[in-house]
Amino acid sequence: MALILKEVTKRFGNYTAVDGLNLSIPDREMFGFLGANGAGKTTTFRMILGLLDPTAGKITLDGKAIDYSQSSMIGYLPEERGLYPKLKVVDQIVYLARLRGMKKQAAIKELGYWLERFRIPEYFDNKIEELSKGNQQKIQFIAAVIHRPKLLILDEPFSGLDPVNVELLKDAVIELKNSGTTIVFSSHRMEHVEEMCEYLCIMQKGKPVVHGSLKEIKRSFGKKNLVIHAD
Ligand code: ATP
């Protein structure tokens, strides 16, 4: 799903969190959003998802303004994880999958696939609060992808994970991209974006400092400058 942002601005009172952002995210590509704390990444994601209205500018997905009819095609891993600690993993996932129009049996099958893939098949019936933080993050990721969305937005998907789990999650993201999902993810770390994305945007104080294909950016700026901008 091609995602286009035209002159998108978000102000909170006098504070401009996102300032005239222009982006074109090609269908079936992986797009990286890089920037330090407060750069405006989460605010941009919330506007793409329709959770916040832009103060100015326009966002379209496949040529149409985003509305609720598209929500079953979009997956979102929020920065603040939002699972119910007292629910069992299976009940949490089935509940969220049903909200997106999936049948219970299809959701259970898909959950089984992901738990195996993340090497935690034994946690199917555990309560969320019984899982480690890293495993909770994997469940949150599964919640975002259970319905096989066409557009997947991941806010800091690798933060707080150990290197083994970062690799597991990266492989899963790459698999989804290869199966045709358009993916946008944010990170503080250049190496994640550089390794996985062909296109990227580096944000600083609400403004894109650089955006375009990684190859072009590297040619124009050189790797050293990119790393300085990243955090
Ligand atoms: P982080 O990695 O820390 O989440 P970010 O790049 O995602 O950073 P945002 O969360 O988009 O940044 O925040 C951008 C700026 O907008 C920050 O200075 C933040 O304090 C401000 N901001 C975000 N949401 C609100 C809000 N609802 N009201 C007021 N200011 C806000």
pLDDT in tens, 197-226: 888 999 998 998 888 888 888 777 665 555
Q: Is the pLDDT of residue 98 over 50?
A: yes
CB 57 within 8 A of CB 9: yes
**Cα(19)–Cα(56) distance, integer angstroms:** 9
pLDDT at residue 227, as a whole number? 46
Q: Dihedral sign for Cα 201, 202, 208, 214, please.
A: negative
pLDDT at residue 230, as a whole number? 40
**Cα(131)–Cα(223) distance, integer angstroms:** 39
Tell me the Ramachandran region of residue 114: left when phi exceeds 0, alpha when psi lies from -120 to 50, beta otherwise. Answer: alpha
Ligand 1 mutation target, pool 5, 34, 42, 185, most atoms within 8 A of CB: 42
Average pLDDT over residues 137-162: 93
pLDDT at residue 215, as a whole number? 83
CA of 40 to the centre of ligand 1 (A): 6
Q: Is the pLDDT of residue 67 over 80?
A: no
Residue closest via CA to ligand 1's atom 1 equals 37
**Cα(58)–Cα(5) distance, integer angstroms:** 6
**Cα(147)–Cα(168) distance, integer angstroms:** 19
pLDDT at residue 228, as a whole number? 35
Q: Which residues line ligand 1 (CB under 6 A)?
A: 12, 15, 17, 35, 37-43, 79
Place of tokens 């899982």: 131
**How large a percentage of the chain has pLDDT more than 70?**
94
pLDDT at residue 167, as a whole number? 93
Task: Indicate the pTM of the whole model.
Answer: 0.89
